[in-house]
Amino acid sequence: MTNTQLKDLLLHYARELDRKGASLFQARAYRAAALIVQGLPTPVEEMLERHGRRALERIPGIGRSIASTIDVMVSLSKWPSNDVPSPPAPGEDRRVA
């Protein structure tokens, strides 16, 4: 899974949190993590393989919870929970205006 794919999933999850009325702080944290992941020079998947979840936890702006979610997501190549719909296919936009 590429950093761009991770970014897209994190942003999708943040939108779903907003839609479901979850904590504003939580949605913002996922958006911030998406931007951080996009800007990393090393693929997150490689970081996890070499140094484990702690490598993500050491990145400013990515806490334990999001690092854990990313770790599971990379392992499964999807979101670890079935309650969040799959992200839109490339070119498909499901956002409501």
User: Residue 39: which domain range?
Assistant: 3-76
Q: Supply the pLDDT for residue 78.
A: 62
Residue 96 falls inside a structural domain: no
For residue 15, give the amino acid letter.
Answer: R
**What one-character-per-residue DSSP string does 61-77 give?**
T--HHHHHHHHHHHHHT
- Of 45, 47, 11, 5, which is closest to residue 27 (Cα–Cα)? 11
- Polymer length in residues for the chain: 97
CATH of the domain at 48: 1.10.150.110
Q: What's the whole-model pTM score?
A: 0.76
Give the pLDDT means over successive 10-residue stretches in the chain (97 positions).
91 90 90 96 95 94 92 77 50 45
Residue 91 domain-assigned (yes or no): no
Would you tell me how many other CB atoms lie within 10 Å of the CB of residue 82? Answer: 8
Is 88 a member of any domain? no
d(CA 42, CA 37): 9
Domains: count for the chain? 1
